[in-house]
Amino acid sequence: MTAVVSGGRAEASTVHAQAGLDLVDAYRQMLTIRLLEELILDLRRAEHMAGSVHVSVGQEVPPVAVVAALDERDRVLATYRGHGWALACGVPPFALLSEVLQRATGTNGGRGGSAYLSAPAYRFVGENSIVAAGLPIANGVAMAAQYTESGGVTVVSFGDGATNQGAAHEALVFAIARRLPVVFVCENNGWSEMTPITDTVPNASLADRARGYGMAAVAVDGADLTEVARVAANSVARARAGEGPTFLEISVPRLLGHYNADVEQYRSEEDRDAHRGRDPLPLVRQTILERELADAGQLIALEAAVQEVVDRARADALEAPHPDPATAGDHVVGTSEFQAAGPLPETGKSLAYGLAANRALGRELEERPEMVIFGEDIAIPGGTFGVTRGLRKQFGERVFDTPISEAAILGAAIGASTSGLRPVVEIMWMDFLYVALDQIVNQAANVRYLSRGQVTAPFVVRMQQGAAPGSCAQHSQSLEALLAHIPGIKVGLPSTAHDAYAMLRAAIADDDPTVIIESRQLYQVSGVVDLDAPVERVGGARLRRQGTDVLIVSWGRMVDDCLQAAEALSGLGIQASVLDLRWLAPLDMASIAAALRSAGGKVVVVHEANLTGGFGAEVVARLVSDHFDELDGPVRRLATPDVRIPTSPVLRDALVPGVDQIVSLAREAADY
Ligand SMILES: Cc1ncc(C[n+]2csc(CCOP(=O)(O)OP(=O)(O)O)c2C)c(N)n1
């Protein structure tokens, strides 16, 4: 029984596709998935690989029936339980199995394993081991298809439990707002790991719930191959015709535990029996015989042929080599090659920092047709701080407003960037990144590494941070160290108007996910900007002042305070160097070391972020471990103490370091 519903009322789509499913071939595919999954469990039991495996035994219908509706323009994302989807997309059993066995010949050379494998050459964008994280990314893949008018449709599969995730909610909201060509396939096996879905969703109709978002939604029995194929074909056709996303709730039996070692002590025998009775394989076999699409002899021959394919994959995968340990560090980022920055330009245009960033965005939009900009209030309103003002007018729909959905914004940026676009997105306040950190840390940072450089995510996230008078503790933090800690992403903090322009252009040109952390306090501060400066590479510090007595290292907003402190120190007879790191990842250690030497080995590191675990700790650790002999005295750190940021300007000023503290610490260092 199928119900198509949209916007709360039952409604047939204007588009109907022919479901041309070949039942015999579908049975062959389902059997291949089943036998491979059973083999994977056997191999895990025999300890041929490490870690957990999540198999899809009983859930073979959705991948086979849905992928049958797709063509070469389309893309598929799945979860850790995604082997069936990969196989249905055409990934060869050997490539899949040797990845599950973590071998060099696997789809990801052993970097992804059972739960996180991908095969873009087969349209399989990949699995995801973070529940629901694939949904926002699928939106981005679909956004690229929509932007290029390729007609491509993106399918993302996930479990019933995933519908309780914030990322899933945001993704549905975002997909509807943008009318994206996505088919959301919820494989409802009744269990969210070890908890029945009815415990958390009392009405248990996930299609119903999706309908509440204004989404076209269909509930269908996953044991009914023909019916699933029919509704899938309709959903894909709707998406292709520009009618927007559909949510398919496909009820499937869960014939085994959540993962290989799950003995299901929490599950009743009645529930298991009920699920066993819905095993789709004998049902499809029976249908084929009843409809005389093949006779028993032909099916026995087909089954033997599938067994042979699986046996061959087993033998080959067990013989396959392990990855070369020497390659473990490859493909974290595209390149970390850079040069130290020269002096700031003396001629150019005088622009405020915020306007300089605006100019960079406008210039890049002009030069890169694949670039899009999106975020909260950034298009028609021009951004909370006016940085994107005027761009919507000039570039139309390439600059658009989104729902207040940070995870959906970042996920869309990832999916779109891996599919040929070059998005620049804005997170209004860096403090808000916390609600969507998964998309940066677990998703974006892994794209290149996992695919061994075959897929990259060239997008930029702009945000601003810092303690400004009157802002509360949730709008005042300096969190750069959090991101600089993550391999696979690049992080820069412009301290001048010229760098607000030049570093943003460098970030947009870079092929890795790059975060530009602007300073709210600098937006109105003007400086000379060379609008025609050649586009730099990401990375490279800038020596802002040369002295011989002490080196002050800083970045972002504090650089100005350090320069003022150096001026004051000069009046005291102490000549200080000031080095603006600009980029924390990649870190220009060579410039730090060179500046240290010319300042006689005395150094102070200054930042606005809290002391403990601040990036200053990293700079100090590297100086001590790699340049100990060049140091003259202890390395000193000046930072905001480990306190929350209060709103009162009086209290805030008692915590955030300023010029006077820099002067006194630099004096202490110089006099050592
Ligand atoms: C964000 C996140 N939270 C929790 C987990 C641990 N976890 C892995 S699978 C899973 C159950 C998900 O259930 P469901 O979405 O129904 O999919 P199924 O496993 O049944 O296919 C959980 C809680 C995770 N991987 N990611």
- Are 415 and 408 contacting, i.e. CB atoms less than 8 angstroms apart? no
Tokens at 338, concatenated: 């850079």
Q: Which residues, 6+ apart, have CB-to-CB distance to 418 below 8 Å?
A: 125, 137, 140, 141, 447, 455, 456, 457
Kindly give the distance from the C-alpha atom of residue 190 to the centroid of ligand 1, in angstroms, as a whole number. 12
Digit-coded pLDDT (tens) for 114-153: 999 999 999 999 999 999 999 999 999 999 999 999 999 9
Q: Looking at ligand 1, which atom is closest to the CA of residue 160?
A: 16
In ligand 1, which atom is closest to the CA atom of 188? 16
Residues paired with residue 400 on neighbouring β-strands, in sequence order: 374
**Residue of the nearest CA to atom 12 in ligand 1?**
192
Closest-CA residue, ligand 1 atom 13, reads: 192
Q: Could you say which DSSP state residue 439 is in?
A: I
Nearest to 140 by CA among 438, 454, 489, 410: 410
Question: DSSP for 549-611?
Answer: SEEEEE-TTHHHHHHHHHHHHHHTT--EEEEE--EEETT-HHHHHHHHHHTTT-EEEEEEEES
Q: Which atom of ligand 1 has the smallest separation from the CA of 59?
A: 21
Position 6 scores a pLDDT of 40
Which residue has a Cα nearest atom 4 of ligand 1? 131
Distance of CA 553 to the CA centre of its chain: 31
Q: Hey, which of 77, 164, 193 would you mutate to test ligand 1's pocket, going by the most ligand atoms within 8 Å of its Cβ? A: 193
Q: What are phi and psi of 599, to 5 degrees?
A: -105, 20
Is residue 406 part of the annotated active site? The answer reads yes
Measure 414 CA to ligand 1 centroid, in angstroms.
21
Distance between Cα 159 and ligand 1 center (Å): 8
Q: Which of 37, 406, 536, 608 is catalytic?
A: 406
Nearest CA to ligand 1 atom 21: 159
- Give distance in angstroms: CA of 132 to centre of ligand 1: 8
Question: 480-514 pLDDT, tens per residue?
Answer: 999 999 999 999 999 999 999 999 999 999 999 99
631 three-class SS: coil
Residue 177 has pLDDT above 70, yes or no: yes
Which residue has its alpha carbon closest to ligand 1 atom 5? 131
- 483 Cα: distance to centroid of ligand 1 (angstroms): 25
- Distance separating alpha carbons of residues 184 and 547, to the nearest angstrom: 60
With beta carbons less than 8 A apart as the criterion, state whether 239 and 182 touch: yes
3-state DSSP of 464-514: EECCCCCCCHHHCCCCHHHHHCCCCCEEECCCCHHHHHHHHHHHHHCCCCE
Atom of ligand 1 at shortest distance to CA of 162? Answer: 15
Residue 220 CA, distance from chain mean position: 31
pLDDT of residue 203: 77
Residue nearest to atom 18 of ligand 1 (CA): 159
The SS3 call for residue 247 is strand
Residue 17 binned pLDDT confidence (cut-offs 50, 70, 90): low
Residue 17: closest CA among 247, 246, 235: 235
Query: Mind spelling out the 3-state secondary structure of 88-114?
Result: HCCCCHHHHHHHHCCCCCCCCCCCCCC
Specify the pLDDT at position 451. 98
Nearest to 405 by CA among 442, 434, 445, 376: 376
Structure confidence at residue 204 (pLDDT): 72
Nearest CA to ligand 1 atom 25: 130
Largest CA distance in the chain: 98
pLDDT by residue (tens digit) across 612-666? 999 999 999 999 999 999 999 999 999 999 999 999 999 999 999 999 999 999 9
Say how many Å lie between the CA of residue 192 and the centre of ligand 1: 6
Tell whether the model's pLDDT for residue 24 goes beyond 50. yes
Closest Cα to atom 11, ligand 1: which residue?
193
DSSP symbol at 612: T
Ligand 1 pocket: which of 169, 192, 250, 252 to mutate (most atoms within 8 A of CB): 192
| CA distance to 151, 323, 336, 410, 512, per residue, from 459 (Å) | 23, 30, 16, 9, 7
CA 129 to ligand 1: nearest atom = 25
pLDDT at 7 over 70: no
Check if 475 is active-site.
yes
Which pLDDT belongs to residue 12?
A: 47
Residue 1: is its pLDDT beyond 70? no
Structure token pair of residue 642: 């480990």
The Å distance, Cα 400 to ligand 1 centre, comes to 32
Over 70: is that where the pLDDT of 520 sits? yes
The band of 183, judged by pLDDT with boundaries at 50, 70 and 90, is: very high
79 CA → ligand 1 middle, Å: 9
**Strands 603-610, 636-640: parallel, antiparallel or unpaired by DSSP?**
parallel
Which residue, by CA, sits nearest to atom 9 of ligand 1?
193
Nearest to 663 by CA among 652, 655, 671: 671
* Distance (Å, whole) CA 152 – CA 479: 38
Helices (H) and strands (E) in the chain, counts: 24, 24
Tens digits of residue pLDDT in 311-369: 999 999 999 999 999 999 999 999 989 999 999 999 999 999 999 999 999 999 999 99
Segment 12-29 shows an average pLDDT of 78
**Nearest CA-CA partner of 42 in 53, 26, 58, 31:** 53
pLDDT for position 279: 97
What the block records as the tokens of 626 is: 């790699």
Query: pLDDT tier at 13 (50, 70, 90 boundaries)?
Result: low
User: How would residue 20 be classed by pLDDT, with cut points 50, 70 and 90?
Assistant: confident
CB of 493 within 8 A of CB of 465?
Answer: no
For 580-625, the pLDDT digits (tens) are 999 999 999 999 999 999 999 999 999 999 999 999 999 999 999 9
Report the alpha-carbon distance of residue 632 to residue 617 in Å, rounded.
18
CA of 81, closest atom in ligand 1: 21
The type of residue at 612 is T
Rounded Cα distance between 52 and 576, Å, is 56
- Cα dist. 6→217, 525, 640 in Å? 6, 50, 52
Task: Give the SS3 label for residue 258.
Answer: coil
Can you state the angle between helices 23-45 and 225-240, rounded to 10 degrees? 100
Q: Whose CA is nearest to atom 17 of ligand 1?
A: 159
Res 16: pLDDT: 61
Q: Which amino acid appears at position 495 of this protein?
A: S
Share of the chain above pLDDT 90, in %: 96
Reported pTM: 0.96
Atom number of ligand 1 nearest to Cα 163: 15
Q: Which of 54, 169, 331, 475 is catalytic?
A: 475
CA distances, 166 to each of 69, 135, 187, 406, 446 (Å): 29, 11, 18, 10, 21
Asked if 390 contacts 383 with a C-beta cutoff of 8 angstroms, the reply is no
Which pLDDT score is estimated for 18? 57
- 568 Cα to the center of ligand 1, angstroms: 58
Please tell me the distance between residue 131's alpha carbon and the centre of ligand 1 in angstroms.
5
Ligand 1 binding residues, C-beta < 6 A? 79, 81, 129-131, 158-162, 189, 191-193, 258
Give the nearest ligand 1 atom to 132 CA. 1
